[in-house]
Chains A and B, each alone.
Chain A
Amino acid sequence: GENVEQHPSTLSVQEGDSAVIKCTYSDSASNYFPWYKQELGKGPQLIIDIRSNVGEKKDQRIAVTLNKTAKHFSLHITETQPEDSAVYFCAARQIQGAQKLVFGQGTRLTINP
């Protein structure tokens, strides 16, 4: 089945700087890659996603890139703000066998004022 690795596990950046979180996946058949933001005491919230037929997608300060050949995708946050502090999860949709989202281990992002 699908396996997703996420790095780094923790990331601390100065407010206004950029943050990058990277994920790799194992199953080349996976076709959908969402990113979730989880704030303290809340459920994961979908912030951006990308499908396998697209290489890059941007939504204001957030962008996701996908390299299908290398089987990795990344989340880029520019001009970080204190409210960006949260745990971020990447996921890949496994389509062989049980179709399900397989999550990475999470990255705790801290924005320092």
Chain B
Amino acid sequence: DTAVSQTPKYLVTQMGNDKSIKCEQNLGHDTMYWYKQDSKKFLKIMFSYNNKELIINETVPNRFSPKSPDKAHLNLHINSLELGDSAVYFCASSQDYSRNEQYFGPGTRLTVT
């Protein structure tokens, strides 16, 4: 069974569109994260939710809005997509906020044309 899953794996869309990426974890973890990996492979945290509550919000454009309907899900909605949003987005989870080990999903490659 996949521990952290994301859909879709690939997403190609045009500038100005709105899209969502979904993430689910079946590990029973309380904390979930979204990371962005750019073309140079640099990994940077975007958001973190603990028990459905936002605890980390890095300097991300407000076109990005995370939503956590329950502890097992953390979705990422992106409005008015721009060329610079093209990247691989990773979801991750950890047992709770104080636990260090984070487990990553397979990633969603977003291409904005």
Contact = CB atoms under 8 A, between A and B. Distances in A.
Contact of B97 (A51, A99, A106): A99
Interface residues of A, number: 22
Contacts of A87: 41
A32 to B, nearest CB: 4
Contact of A100 (B41, B45, B106): B45
Contacts of B107: 41-43
A87 to B, nearest CB: 6
Report, as a range, how many residues of chain B touch the other chain.
20 to 34
B45 to A, nearest CB: 5
Interface in B5-29: none
A40 B69 CA distance: 31
23 contacts: A32-B100, A36-B104, A41-B107, A42-B106, A43-B105, A43-B107, A44-B90, A45-B104, A46-B103, A49-B101, A51-B100, A98-B55, A98-B58, A100-B45, A101-B45, A101-B100, A101-B102, A103-B42, A103-B44, A105-B40, A105-B42, A106-B42, A106-B43
Interface of B: 4, 40-45, 48, 55-56, 58, 90, 92, 97, 100-107
